Amino acid sequence: MVDSNAELLSAIHEIRDLIRLMAEPAIAERDKKLRAELRRLVGASGPKAKSVLLMDGTRTQAVIQKATGFNQGHLSTLVKQLNANKLLAGDGKQPKLAISIPEDFFESEAE
């Protein structure tokens, strides 16, 4: 029974990932302005990009800082900027992006 549940969960995750892949162009079009603003705020900074990718609502700013090595003061400023531009959901203590972005978002060219 446990193996069956694990297989089912694995299949569900695979289906979810495929749906996300298929939906990405529509999501990108819907969020075009917000994504452009996110790119502007992050710029070419690798540490900023890594920090933003970890903003899923499960980590505190301190955890994100430790994982990326990004300066705590700069991270706090970035979170405030993202919040001011309506790019964050919640209070900012555990930052969560208000839009979805693919893992390679900052590697690909701006659209």
**For the chain, which residues make up each domain, given as ranges?**
1-30, 33-111
Buried b (16+ CB within 10 A) or exposed e, 75-97: beebbeebbeeebbeeeeeebeb
Q: Has residue 24 got a pLDDT over 80?
A: no
pLDDT at 92 (0 to 100): 82
Reading the block at residue 42, the tokens are: 């992050």
Higher pLDDT, 33 or 29: 33
**Quick one: pLDDT band at residue 1, thresholds 50, 70, 90?**
low
pLDDT on residue 110: 54
What is the mean predicted confidence (pLDDT) over 22-28? 78
| pLDDT tens for each residue of 60-103 | 999 999 999 999 999 999 999 999 999 999 878 999 999 988 88
Structure-token pair, residue 102: 């693919």
Q: Region 13-30: what's the mean pLDDT?
A: 82
CB 98 within 8 A of CB 34: yes
What is the distance between the alpha carbons of residues 82 and 89, in angstroms, rounded to a whole number? 10
Give 3-state DSSP helix, strand, coil % of the chain, rounded to 5.
60, 5, 35
Q: Which residue has the higher pLDDT, 67 or 27?
A: 67
According to CATH, the topology of domain 33-111 is Arc Repressor Mutant, subunit A (1.10.10)
